[in-house]
């Protein structure tokens, strides 16, 4: 009985090892390993916030909301305009180039009071990718957001 059990165990172990050996070699192919990651692109936004007379407005908060599907989500820290009313943003993102920029007066009456406003930007497809995960770059550099005076404040 012990001898039969021993023969059966050796036979089944040999059979399982042979099957696993064949499966292991069949998974090796000439295509190499699969890439790991997510396609991304470098997006650059540059613009200016001005009043109705086209004068730059400093210290305006500019929130960049990223478009995914039909919604916009804010995942980026807000920017502030400089003394010339300019803002700039450059980031590697895994999106399709849809943004909503929301300009908001956060300094109270220091520069005058302005009503919040927003614009939507849809960028062209990125260009100059490397044929791998990097899809390329896209930029929009002449963005102008015009804010109206808030007479209520």
The answer as to whether 2 is a domain residue is: no
The answer as to whether 127 is a domain residue is: yes
The answer as to whether 14 is a domain residue is: no
Instruction: Count other C-beta atoms under 10 Å from residue 50's C-beta.
Output: 18
The answer as to whether 1 is a domain residue is: no
CA 51/CA 57 separation, integer angstroms: 7
The answer as to whether 120 is a domain residue is: yes
Burial of 58 (0-12, 13-18, 19+ CB in 10 A): middle
Instruction: Count other C-beta atoms under 10 Å from residue 12's C-beta.
Output: 10
The answer as to whether 55 is a domain residue is: yes
Distances in Å between the Cα of 79 and the Cα atoms of 40, 42, 116, 131, 142 are 22, 18, 15, 32, 17
Q: Is 121 helix (H, G, I), strand (E, B) or coil?
A: strand
Residue 137 lies in domain: 40-146
Indicate the number of domains in the chain: 1
CATH number at residue 70: 2.60.40.1120
| Per-residue pLDDT tens listing for the chain (153 residues) | 777 778 888 888 888 888 877 776 555 666 666 667 889 999 999 999 999 999 999 999 999 998 877 788 877 889 999 999 999 999 999 888 899 999 999 987 787 889 999 999 998 889 998 888 899 999 999 999 999 998 876
Residues 63/104, Cβ–Cβ less than 8 Å? yes
pTM for this model (two decimals): 0.72
Residues 6+ apart with CB under 8 A from 91: 42, 43, 76
The answer as to whether 24 is a domain residue is: no
The answer as to whether 81 is a domain residue is: yes
């Amino acid at each position: 009985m012990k001898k039969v059990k021993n023969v059966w165990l050796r036979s089944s172990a040999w059979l399982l090892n042979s099957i696993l050996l064949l499966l292991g070699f069949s998974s090796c192919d000439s295509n190499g390993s699969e890439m790991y990651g997510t396609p991304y692109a470098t997006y650059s936004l540059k613009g200016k916030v001005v009043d109705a007379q086209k004068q730059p407005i400093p210290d305006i908060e500019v929130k960049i909301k990223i478009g995914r599907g039909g919604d916009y989500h804010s995942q980026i820290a807000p920017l502030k305009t400089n003394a010339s009313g300019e803002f700039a943003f450059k980031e590697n993102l895994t999106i399709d180039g849809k943004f909503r920029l929301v300009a908001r007066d956060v300094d109270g009456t220091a520069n005058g009071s302005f009503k919040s406003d927003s614009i939507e930007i849809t960028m062209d497809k990125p260009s100059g990718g490397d044929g791998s995960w990097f899809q390329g770059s896209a930029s929009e550099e002449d963005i102008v957001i015009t804010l109206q005076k808030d007479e209520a404040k």
